A and B are shown apart, each in its own frame.
Chain A
Amino acid sequence: MGAVLFALAIAVAGWGGLGVTLLLTDRSPAREAVGTVAVLCLSLLFGFALVSIGSFGVGVTIGITTRAPVTLVCLVVGAVGVWVQRVSVLGWLRRLPHARPAPVPAAVLALAALMTAMVWRFGTRIMLGWDGLHIWEHKARMAFDNGGTVPVAYFRDTTRLWSHVDYPQFVPLTETWLYGWLRRPDQEALVAVFPLFFLLACGVLWVGARLLGPSRNLAPALAVIALATVPFVSFGEGSASSGYADFPLATFFLTAVVFGLHHVRTGSAQSLRFAVAAAAVLPWVKKEGAVLFGCFAVVLCAALIAQRATDTSRWSVTWRTIAKVAGPGFAVFLMWKAYLRHVDVAPYEEYLPVTFDRLRDNFDRTSVIASSLWAETTRWQQWSLLWPLAVVALVVWAVRHRGIERVLLPALVLAPIAVSCTVYYFSGWNPVVRHIEASLPRLLLQVAPVAVLSLALAVPRRRRSLG
């Protein structure tokens, strides 16, 4: 019975996410196909986002038990999305019985499912790491006991500041959603949720490598396998099996990057909407998501403005681009900050004030940060050869591409790492190396799927392109 309810919880969230995906899809007759794998992945990702933001919104504004209203929201959004895209959906359903799965995608799907099972198996051994239990499950359990939202008293409880009361609530409210369907908190069931993000990351990687790279099957397939065999993706504190928020964050970031790059290359409006929607979830998943979102928004805005500067350089176009790309994510970020202010969250200063004087005083940390970054990226038992090969792949990308695309992917991999490392200048930990050792591997994990994508995109072209 528990497995059925678990599947039902995922299905309802996915249905809501399908509605979001279809509403973001082009409606014009000349629309481009999205692809079944992309729709499935986006539906689940947006579904989890819809459920958590919906639970938060319902709980805060109406203050009632959230599961029933959020279920209703999911059902309505899903139905509206399907109705709006009914022609495409009916066409897809008519084609479905005649569809014959191609051997390579079918094999990759089977392999991805197998590796997801492996990640789940690792999860049953780790059974939620430190953050998974003490930061996220703690909040999920409180929210479950409180009707679906984290009680306001928790934000002011100075004896629980250590559990990062100010962290955003994508993970705990998604977990609470499952607890609500299961009708009880169940840590064993939670362990099955995080491998789903691994499967979704595999799907988005497959979609991204096919959309953006020259290879249709080999490179995407090897990218999926490579992701699973990066040891830190599969096991360890922070991995996809440990119940941390870092891998879900990485999956949303990968989605934003894939569709953002596709938009820059093709001008596809629906890709831009997918990218912006995925990026908007980043500040809702984890505090560090704001860094990823900021880097993504700045890089994409700069690319779009530079790209359109030859056509028109009017300020209105520039501002419209910035509002379109950064607006939704910034709104999510502000929403959470406003709520924390509203509930008068107890202060917990993990960082020193960000001032130029502080940066100058702590500039001697540069060697510690640089040596830690070097040591981490060359820990083969943690990353295999991912980072050295990613650097080579990014150079290949920069050499192969022209115009703004040349710097786009390297910037989307390197900028978040650089900004995250800069944050250590303002760390309040003493010695700072403890802070770096505790968090740097997870900061790299947030970008790791995009690094794997860069390897897949470095695949040589099959034949010389004309022109």
Chain B
Amino acid sequence: MASPLVQPADRVATRRRVEWTVWLVAAGLLIAGGARHVVQYARDMPPALSGDRAASDRSLTVLGMSKPAAAIEAALAALPSDETLYLVVPADNPFRASTYFAISPLVWPRPFGMIGCTGGGGAEQVLFPVPPQPPGSRVNALLWNPLPQPDAPPVVVAPADADAQPIGPQLQLVTGQEGDAWALFCSP
């Protein structure tokens, strides 16, 4: 007499078929659903970048230069490695933080901070501070002034007597200021 636990062969086969169908449909849905998005991305993706500084250059495109990473490094080459450097930007610039992070590796090992200038008589804000430096140590600044509006005065300015060196259309390096001179770069 057959055991009640033993299922007829055709029922077992049918169960197997159902299990396989469910599994294959699930796998197919997973693959098809995902592939649709991958293909969509492949179709819409931006053009390829190349070059040994391609990633850094891409993250600095807002500076409006063709090879910003190499240009900044070249401009800073003569700067002593223990001198403080500030990035000075208009405080309302939405790209200020991402640009600061992108420039930071290029200026290593110098202590690197960021100052935001509010403009219109507002005070400057220390957005990323640098620890206190020994008295008399020199402070340098990368002034980033996005192309000004036609009728608006620039928010970030280099003092008339400063040693300013242009790096790009919006960026200049001011070297050799003493103490808290960075405050001078924000126009009153």
The interface of chain A, by Cβ under 8 A from chain B, is 118, 121-122, 124-125, 127-128, 132-134, 137-138, 141-142, 151, 153-154, 157-160, 162-163, 184-189, 222, 225-226, 228-231, 234-235, 243, 380-381, 383-386, 389, 392, 455, 458-460, 463-464
Q: Which residues of A contact B113 (CB under 8 A)?
A: 159
Would you call the interface of chain A mostly helix, strand, loop, or mixed? Answer: helix
- How many residues of B sit at the interface, in one of the four size bands? 35 or more
Contact A163 B30, CB 8 Å, known A127-B58, A229-B35: no
Q: Are B53 and A187 in contact (CB under 8 A)?
A: yes
Q: Which of B30, B34, B58 has the most CB of A within 10 A?
A: B34
Q: Which residues of A contact B49 (CB under 8 A)?
A: 124-125, 127, 188
Cross-interface CB contact of B105 among A138, A188, A459, cutoff 8 Å: A138
State in angstroms the CA–CA spacing of A226 and B34 once bound together. 8
Q: Which residues of A contact B35 (CB under 8 A)?
A: 229
Known: A127-B54, A133-B56, A159-B112. 10 other contacts (CB 8 A): A121-B48, A122-B42, A132-B55, A225-B31, A229-B31, A229-B35, A383-B34, A384-B34, A385-B26, A385-B30
**Min CB gap B39→A, angstroms:** 9
Contact A162 B101, CB 8 Å, known A226-B27, A235-B41: yes
State in angstroms the CA–CA spacing of A133 and B35 once bound together. 28
Cross-interface CB contact of B51 among A188, A243, A458, cutoff 8 Å: A188
Q: Are A230 and B34 in contact (CB under 8 A)?
A: yes
Closest B residue to A184 using CB positions: B52
Q: Are A125 and B26 in contact (CB under 8 A)?
A: no
Q: Which residues of A contact B55 (CB under 8 A)?
A: 127-128, 132-133, 137, 187, 243
Would you call the interface of chain B mostly helix, strand, loop, or mixed? Answer: helix
Closest B residue to A381 using CB positions: B37
State in angstroms the CA–CA spacing of A125 and B48 once bound together. 5
Q: Which residues of B contact A134 (CB under 8 A)?
A: 101-102, 104-105
Q: Which residues of B contact A184 (CB under 8 A)?
A: 52
Q: Which of B12, B104, B129 has the most CB of A within 10 A?
A: B104
Q: Which residues of A contact B95 (CB under 8 A)?
A: none
Contact A464 B30, CB 8 Å, known A125-B45, A160-B112, A188-B54: no
Q: Are A187 and B105 in contact (CB under 8 A)?
A: no
State in angstroms the CA–CA spacing of A146 and B171 once bound together. 29
State in angstroms the CA–CA spacing of A384 and B128 once bound together. 40
Q: Which residues of A contact B26 (CB under 8 A)?
A: 385, 389, 392, 455
Contact A222 B31, CB 8 Å, known A125-B47, A234-B38: yes
State in angstroms the CA–CA spacing of A157 and B130 once bound together. 9
Over the window 2-30 of chain B, the binary record of Cβ atoms lying under 8 Å from chain A Cβ atoms (1 yes, 0 no) is 00000000001000100110010011011
State in angstroms the CA–CA spacing of A446 and B140 once bound together. 43
State in angstroms the CA–CA spacing of A230 and B41 once bound together. 12
Cβ-based interface call for B135 (8 A): no
Contact A188 B52, CB 8 Å, known A125-B47, A384-B37, A460-B16: yes
**Min CB gap A463→B, angstroms:** 8
Cβ-based interface call for B150 (8 A): no
